[in-house]
Amino acid sequence: MDSTGHDIRFAELKDTIAELNKKIESLTKAFEESQARMAEKDRTIESLKTNEAEKDTEISRLKEEVEFWKKKLFGKKSEKSNDFPGQISLFNEAEEEFKPSAPEKVEFPEESEASDGQQNPAAPKPRKEKQTNQEKYRNCRHRKEYLDVSEEQRTCPVCGTELEYIGEEFVRQEIHRVPGYIEVINYYSKNYGCPSCKQSGTELPYIIKGKDGKPHMMKGMASASTVAWIMYQKYCNSVPLYRQEKDWERLYGLKITRATFAGWIIRNAETFLKLLYNHMHARLLVRQFLMGDETPLQVLHEPNRKAQTKSFMWVFRTGEDGGVPIILYNYTETRGGYNAANFLGDYCGYFMCDGFGGYNSLPHAKRCSCYAHVRRYLLDAIPKGKKDDHSDPAVQGFLYVEKLFIEEKRIRAKFKSPDAIKDARNKKERPILDAFFAWVDRQTPVKGTRFDKAITYIKNRKKYLLTYLEDGRCSLTNNLTEQGCKSFVIGRKNWLFADQPIGAQTSAIIYSLVETAKLNGVNPYYYLRYVLEKMSSLPSLEELDESTLEDLMPWSVQLQDAIKAYDKEQE
């Protein structure tokens, strides 16, 4: 083959090689694109798997929430550990009819109707004719009481002549409740005049009228027994005023409006009972072991606030230090921590409460945190049907706390002195706590789940959860305060809201006296009746000394003896 043929062949081979190189490059590029597409598909698959896992987690969390709220709505409310229940629900009838400036008697107009039987809104509505007291109380028993003049006063200070009886004069009516009926007491004063001054005609005749000797009268026509009974029914038995109004009409044939009842309650509480409340407050602040909690309340007519806005009722009480028990309620417009600071001042003792951050406003108090709340959080985190599954972390945490409660019960049953309780706690409960908090630190819960909330709650309050080990008089839980809240909550379920701030604060005052009386083993009705009768007879309310106020406290031996006398009388 000549050189020309070789050149042609060589050129063809070079072209073939170039084409093959291009093909290889094209195939390589196609392969790389295919690999990139495969990698993208893998990433897409991984992303879908991740999204699916996240959705599964969210579905699981939502199912957990549904089960939690089902348990809240339909489950048992007891906190017995073998029942694994939900959390206890914690606290006015409004004095919605009461207006401080309004008269006691309120009449309501009748509906007017047009001649065709239909309502005519333009026609004036005639008012009911006002009943006289004689008509209103015609079905009640009536009794006369005479206010007489003492023997020493029946001598004329001008001429020294003995005074003679010249007649009687109506003074007032008082509605007195006796078990089974209502009695209207008509008070008349016996009047005496000097016959000698009258005959001489030189001076005005000397006349003196009988008085009952009470410097302070009850506000309204009701006696102390009546006001105490209405307060007792409302604040101890949770009977709203509108039900009491109907009850009085059915039982006694008396149509007294709830506005009148509300006026009796508020005015007498402000005049008499508030002084006792303030004294209890002063006694509470000197104690070294206190507890606190708060619960929402609706007050319709607060200044510059909407009716739907939440207000709060705070509960503060003494702890388990062996002293006389005191429990006080305090109404505030908001839940701000400054409200607790305003009520407790510079309190520097031990203070048991829940995890609410508002209590951080008590910088000098030694905070104790409640283990009942810890147990509830862990209990709520246990999945449905898993309460016996010890491999579930929420069950494990719950069992740690349950063991702590068992030890505390044994210690309380065996030891009585604070020092012995403190030593036993550090010996028996400290190892449980060390193991429990070590377990907490090892947990990695799924974010947003109930278990995550429980672990976060515990970690954020570890310091406060250990404070109770410092003194045997500290409590393990805040259950005593929640029991005090419960009395308010039962009443709130009946009357739903308060109409005015003065009604809410009046409720706080009377609840404080009623619940403190119950804690000291005193009949709340007899206690309210006794203090109202006693205080209305005191010479001065503005200058009451500490000794007199102390004698009117539910823990006073003198008062308890007087209450026992009431019980024996059985009216």
Q: What is the pLDDT of residues 468-500, one digit of tens each?
A: 999 999 999 999 999 888 888 888 887 777 878
How high is the pLDDT of residue 302? 83
Cβ contact 309:497 at 8 Å:
no
Residue 223: name the closest of 529, 465, 508, 497 by CA.
529
What number is the average pLDDT over the span 249-274? 90
**Residue 273 has which token pair?**
């009972």
Cβ contact 315:485 at 8 Å:
yes
Phi-psi region of 117 (alpha: psi -120 to 50; beta: other; left: phi over 0): left
Identify the residue with better confidence: 35 or 116. Answer: 35
Identify the residue with better confidence: 449 or 132. Answer: 449
Cβ contact 371:390 at 8 Å:
no
Q: DSSP letters of 344-391?
A: H-S--SEEEE-S-GGGGG-TTSEEEE-HHHHHHHHHHHSPTT-TT-TT
**What is the pLDDT confidence band of residue 120, given thresholds at 50, 70 and 90?**
very low
What number is the average pLDDT over the span 181-197? 81
Q: Other CB atoms closer than 10 Å to residue 83's CB: what's the count?
A: 12
Tally of CA atoms within 13 A in the half-sphere of 521 that contains its CB? 7
How high is the pLDDT of residue 111? 35
pLDDT at 114 over 50: no
Cβ contact 500:94 at 8 Å:
yes
Stretch (H or E) spanning 402: helix 393-414
**Residue 500 has which token pair?**
């005015």
Which ranges constitute the DSSP H helices of 182-240? 195-200, 224-235
What is the pairing mode between strands 289-298 and 310-318? antiparallel
pLDDT at 265 over 80: yes
Residue 435: name the closest of 472, 476, 407, 410 by CA.
407
3-state helix, strand, coil in the chain (%, to 5): 50, 15, 35
Residue 450: name the closest of 11, 63, 2 by CA.
63
Identify the residue with better confidence: 179 or 230. Answer: 230
Structure letter (DSSP) for residue 191: E
**Residue 442 has which token pair?**
């090892």
Lowest mean per-residue pLDDT among 9-18, 55-64, 373-382, 395-404: 55-64
pLDDT at 118 over 50: no
What number is the average pLDDT over the span 220-238? 90
Give the integer Cα–Cα distance in Å for 503 and 259: 12
Give the integer Cα–Cα distance in Å for 429 and 476: 11
Give the integer Cα–Cα distance in Å for 241 and 496: 12
Q: Other CB atoms closer than 10 Å to residue 229's CB: what's the count?
A: 18
**Residue 10 has which token pair?**
């060589």
Domain spans of the chain, in order of start: 371-477
Give the integer Cα–Cα distance in Å for 134 and 140: 10
Q: What is the pLDDT of residues 97-108, one digit of tens each?
A: 455 554 444 333
pLDDT at 127 over 70: no
Q: DSSP letters of 163-190?
A: PEEEEEEEEEEEEEEETTEEEEEEEEEE
Give the integer Cα–Cα distance in Å for 112 and 235: 38
What number is the average pLDDT over the span 446-470? 92
Give the integer Cα–Cα distance in Å for 463 and 293: 19
**What is the pLDDT confidence band of residue 34, given thresholds at 50, 70 and 90?**
confident
Give the integer Cα–Cα distance in Å for 318 and 329: 12
How high is the pLDDT of residue 128? 63
pLDDT at 400 over 60: yes
Cβ contact 330:518 at 8 Å:
no
Give the integer Cα–Cα distance in Å for 237 and 242: 14
Residue 366: name the closest of 476, 278, 290, 444 by CA.
290
Q: Which amino acid is located at 533 in the chain?
A: E
**What is the pLDDT confidence band of residue 90, given thresholds at 50, 70 and 90?**
very low
> pLDDT over 70 for what percent of the chain?
84
Query: Which residues have CB under 8 Å from 461's CB, separation 6+?
Result: 355, 369
Q: Which amino acid is located at 15 in the chain?
A: D
The residue whose two tokens read 């009258």 is 198
> pLDDT over 90 for what percent of the chain?
38
Q: Other CB atoms closer than 10 Å to residue 293's CB: what's the count?
A: 24
